[in-house]
Structure 1
Amino acid sequence: PAHWYGSSSALDSLLGISKTQPLQYLVSLSVAEQESLLGYQPDHPENPKVLRIAIIGAPNAGKSTLSNKLLGRKVFAVSKKVHTTRCSAQGIITDQDTQLVGILPLTVVFLSSRHNLEKSVVADPWQSMKRADLVVVLVDVSESFTRNRLHSQVLKCLSQFSQIPSILVLNKVDLLKGKTLLLDLVVKLTEGMVNGKKLEVRSNTIRPPGSEAPDSRIGWAHFREIFMLAAVNEEEVEMLKTYLLMQAKPGPWEFHSEVLTNQSPQEICNNIIREKLLEYLPLEVPYTVLQVWEEGPGGELVILQNLLVKKESHMKMLIGPKGEVINQIVQEAGQDLMNAFLCDVQLKLCVKLKK
């Protein structure tokens, strides 16, 4: 088995977390603790405000990464492979009298047969959109093949729920060469209109909003605001977060202020390990998970996870030469788990042939 043990002391120092100060947001270490936390009545103030958010975009636009940055903790899996996020989990931000609900990444797709997605995963974006107060459309402008138009299903989603306010977030703008290209993309993706006003820029791509047939449209003329995020700049994420908090309307909270996500700890663990498997394997190897959780003598979290595969070739692929692949997966997954749970983590992964 591959084994990893990490201490949170260095992480605590890096994040500025004091051992004597309780953390506001909790990611429970057991299902019972998480169910208890989710069962708490919302402790909203006298005049609470709430905003339900849906983050949508093409596959690999960076939705999970943005969600994690907004939450300040990695609770959603991130991978270069498409459809890493397969659950309809929610993230929650509570700031003074305001709660943001549904900081979750949604990939709007209808390719379930092609990518072997569960029907619930494909339907989730539409269900979440029905409850949203604000839609965040994320576009990775560093991807030259997809940046010049909104994904067709994103446009379909925006058209079907046109009554819901939406904003455009351009991701990785620091990787673009030249301001002119960025401005041209803004014009294309907004049809030259933002918040009901025509953009004062020169461009040959501007056409009258809505003049194209629905199938040929490349942008959306009804965005309320545009945000531009650099890959390494946290201040811009804070500006987006501040904007979201300001859009909240009077209404009751849905969760207790200590809740960060409605995912179970096992779901977080499974997704993080699956993320690493996707990163290091050439294809998605089918496997079954047997998982054991316990608390170590020093209060650390001990996780033993068996990955059961049906083929010996898959087993060799997972382990790698001299155990290099499985050891790398365990190292990175263990660090991510420690960052998620903010405690010492001892992770053991065993790959076994299913008989």
Structure 2
Amino acid sequence: MAAPRRCGSGLARLVMAWQLGPQAARPWAAALRPAVGPQARCVSCMVGTAFSGPRLAPASCSGQDSALDRILGVPQPDCSPAPRVPAACTYRDEQTLLLAHTPDMPENPRVLRVALLGAPNAGKSTLSNQLLGRKVFPVSKKVHTTRCQALGVITEKEAQVILLDTPGIISPIKQKRHHLELSLLEDPWKSMESADLVVVLVDVSDKWTRNQLNPQVLKCLTQFSQVPSILVLNKVDCLKQKSVLLELTAVLTEGVVNGKKLNIRQAFHSQPRTHCPSSATEDSNAHSVENPQRVGWPHFQEIFMLSALNNEDVKTLKHYLLAQAQPGPWEFHSGVLTSQAPEEICTNKIREKLLEYLPEEVPYSVQQKTLVWEEGPSGELVIQQNLLVPKESHLRILIGRKGHLISQIAQEVGQDLMDIFLCDVRIRLSVKLLK
């Protein structure tokens, strides 16, 4: 696999220059931006798209008004209104510097690590994006869009909330049967080990799964019962009968929230295949996850009912999380929004579109390789990625009639990346058969 090209050289000198100060770094930052030569058209299908937006500042390694430049004290152009801050630095080494920078903590800092758990496609990444205010995590209607743990950071005043957006929790049997990445099995459990709070998401629009917590989620909650947890009923806007929420609340909490019995029996409307406990148990720990009667968790501290797509709904949850932050040092500078590398963000965005537009198992068989990641002669970000497919039929599907599908994917990915990096983006996607 060819390594992604980074324009210019002298990265070590650039890092040393940043340590000396922004003035010393300017010459090296500018030196890392030679013009890009013509690219060879040696692929099955190549699509290039450019988007109009703020140019990469020639004296800034991270783009106009970047988080890294503000940290290092590089003067920003005086413009009104002030541009948004990029969600991540444009290059991997700059993002690494930003993540390693000493947190700019207030006098009384508070911090909270939050693990988001739920079945596949429960809406964890959508909720994370809404909490962060930027679409930095991939989202699609197909399962297993998130392939490994991703980290987001919310910083407001003295509080910092670290979101651990995990893959949909699955069983070892399913992981082996479908040859899925080991990260899909391991990352949710790793997140629990460092979490201060667990947010359990349930998709209430799915009538086949909403009447009980995912067995693997229950197993995880039981093993880490010392970690406080809250229940979030997601996609409530899809319910025609809101009374269903009362039933689900009783079932999924076993009638107990924050140690108190719920008094909602009169509003309860039973349905087939739905279990409602006759009363709250005196010792809920006596139940075992293996017990087929257990479908809920009686130790949730709070319940939230929302649509992750609704900003006002999510604000209530966000304020709650910020209020739960406990005294302690921040882990990141306030300029950090995500720990993802820029190439990782791009790869995830392309995968998001593949899952959205390709049928059935086709998107899961596509392998991605980034070949070019550099700045173009006009200051735009130039990206080239190969999409490798195992079958000729998959290649034809991905390219689409007269190349329309691959062109549409490139255009949408480019627009998303422009919104994340706040610079012009020209992306070329090449489709090839896997040898």
Do they fold alike, i.e. is TM over 0.5? yes
After TM superposition, give the deviation of residue 165 of structure 1 in Å. 0.5
**Distance (Å, rounded) in 2 between the aligned partners of 1:213 and 1:120:** 26
**Distance (Å, rounded) in 2 between the aligned partners of 1:237 and 1:62:** 12
Aligned partner of 1:262 in structure 2 is 339
Aligned partner of 1:206 in structure 2 is 277
Aligned partner of 2:125 in structure 1 is 64
Aligned partner of 2:317 in structure 1 is 240
Aligned partner of 2:251 in structure 1 is 188
Q: How many percent identity over aligned positions?
A: 59
**Distance (Å, rounded) in 1 between the aligned partners of 2:142 and 2:189:** 22
Residue 230 of structure 2 aligns to a residue in which SS?
Answer: strand
Residue 226 of structure 1 aligns to a residue in which SS?
Answer: strand
Consecutive unaligned residues in structure 1, runs of 5 or more: 10-17
Aligned partner of 1:37 in structure 2 is 98
1:294 aligns with 2:350: no
1:183-223 Cα deviation digits (max 9, x unpaired): 11111111111111111111362333437653321111111
Q: What amino acid is aligned across from residue 332 of structure 2 in structure 1?
A: F
TM-score under structure 1 length normalisation: 0.92
Residue 82 of structure 1 aligns to a residue in which SS?
Answer: coil
What does 1:160-179 align with in structure 2 at a 5 Å threshold?
A: 160-179=223-242
**Distance (Å, rounded) in 1 between the aligned partners of 2:113 and 2:370:** 35
CA gap 1:169/1:332 in 2 versus in 1, 3 angstroms: same
Aligned partner of 2:159 in structure 1 is 98
**Distance (Å, rounded) in 2 between the aligned partners of 1:316 and 1:148:** 41
**Distance (Å, rounded) in 2 between the aligned partners of 1:140 and 1:234:** 17
TM-score under structure 2 length normalisation: 0.76
After TM superposition, give the deviation of residue 31 of structure 1 in Å. 0.6
What does 1:221-236 align with in structure 2 at a 5 Å threshold?
A: 221-230=298-307, 232-236=309-313
**8 Å contact from structure 2 (residues 166, 191) kept in 1:** no
Residue 107 of structure 1 aligns to a residue in which SS?
Answer: coil
1:217-267 Cα deviation digits (max 9, x unpaired): 111111111111135421110110000000000011111111111110000
**Distance (Å, rounded) in 2 between the aligned partners of 1:286 and 1:25:** 29
CA gap 1:119/1:105 in 2 versus in 1, 3 angstroms: closer
**8 Å contact from structure 1 (residues 193, 222) kept in 2:** yes
After TM superposition, give the deviation of residue 350 of structure 1 in Å. 1.4
Q: What amino acid is aligned across from residue 349 of structure 2 in structure 1?
A: I
**Distance (Å, rounded) in 2 between the aligned partners of 1:19 and 1:265:** 27
**8 Å contact from structure 2 (residues 233, 305) kept in 1:** yes
1:30-89 Cα deviation digits (max 9, x unpaired): 011111111101121121100000000000001110011111111111112211111222
**8 Å contact from structure 2 (residues 236, 306) kept in 1:** yes
**Distance (Å, rounded) in 2 between the aligned partners of 1:125 and 1:343:** 34
Decide which of 392, 405, 420 is 1:312's aligned counterpart.
392
**Distance (Å, rounded) in 2 between the aligned partners of 1:182 and 1:277:** 34
**8 Å contact from structure 1 (residues 291, 306) kept in 2:** yes
Larger radius of gyration: 2
Q: What amino acid is aligned across from residue 324 of structure 2 in structure 1?
A: Q
Aligned length: 347
Aligned partner of 2:76 in structure 1 is none
CA gap 1:231/1:107 in 2 versus in 1, 3 angstroms: closer
**Distance (Å, rounded) in 2 between the aligned partners of 1:166 and 1:29:** 36
CA gap 1:175/1:33 in 2 versus in 1, 3 angstroms: same
**8 Å contact from structure 1 (residues 25, 257) kept in 2:** no
Residue 269 of structure 1 aligns to a residue in which SS?
Answer: helix
Consecutive unaligned residues in structure 2, runs of 5 or more: 1-45, 55-78, 271-275
